[in-house]
Amino acid sequence: MEPSAPPPASPFNPAPAARPAGGGCPKPLILGCLGLLVLAGLGLVGFFFYAGTHVGQLLQLSLRQSETAVFSTMPKDVPPEEQQRLRQAFEAARQRAGHPTNPQEIAEASQQLQLKTLGIIRKGQAATRKDIQDLTTALEEFAKTGQGPDGR
């Protein structure tokens, strides 16, 4: 008896699909992924280099944004004179950050200042007049000495 021929392919009885010869990812895909990984690594190194050489400018930008956020959640009981003093303290701190004598010291000292500012921003409308006075004093100290509120 002769072997019968397989029935013709139809939508209800499709022909078996041919198996691929090799397994795994194709080489162009692997090379493309590795290329993207290398570019991302170079971008990260470039970012850290830029941040390290432009500490003052980045701190000025951070202080400007912090000032906007603090004034948007300013407690109602803070008189205009204290608000003006706070604006002047922010401006003086930005000036100090723009002309660092030692960029690393400025960056380290500004951490405590930024944490204090962030704490007030997080409090939002619950911030008190005392919080604003403490922030003003810390900014003024930073502007005079280039050091944070705790002397670092």
Would you tell me how many other CB atoms lie within 10 Å of the CB of residue 96? 23
In angstroms, rounded to a whole number, what is the distance separating the alpha carbons of residues 135 and 118? Answer: 10
In angstroms, rounded to a whole number, what is the distance separating the alpha carbons of residues 152 and 143? Answer: 13
For the chain, percent of residues with pLDDT exceeding 70:
79
As a whole number, the mean pLDDT across the chain is 82
- The pLDDT of 77-93, averaged and rounded, is 92
- The pLDDT of 61-80, averaged and rounded, is 90
Kindly report, residue by residue over 30-60, the tens digit of the pLDDT.
Answer: 899 999 999 999 999 999 888 877 878 888 8
pLDDT band at 80 (very low <50, low <70, confident <90, very high): very high
pLDDT above 90: residue 107: no
Predicted TM-score (pTM) of the model is 0.64
pLDDT score for 38: 95
In contact, 109 and 96? CB cutoff 8 Å:
no
In contact, 136 and 87? CB cutoff 8 Å:
no
Please tell me which of 3-12, 83-92, 94-103 the model is most confident about, judged by mean pLDDT: 83-92
Kindly report, residue by residue over 2-30, the tens digit of the pLDDT.
Answer: 667 766 666 676 666 666 566 667 888 88
pLDDT score for 152: 44
pLDDT score for 142: 87
- Name every residue whose Cβ is closer than 8 Å to that of residue 77 and which is 6 or more positions away in sequence: 129
Measured at the CA of 41, the angle between CA 100 and CA 104, to 5 degrees, comes to 15
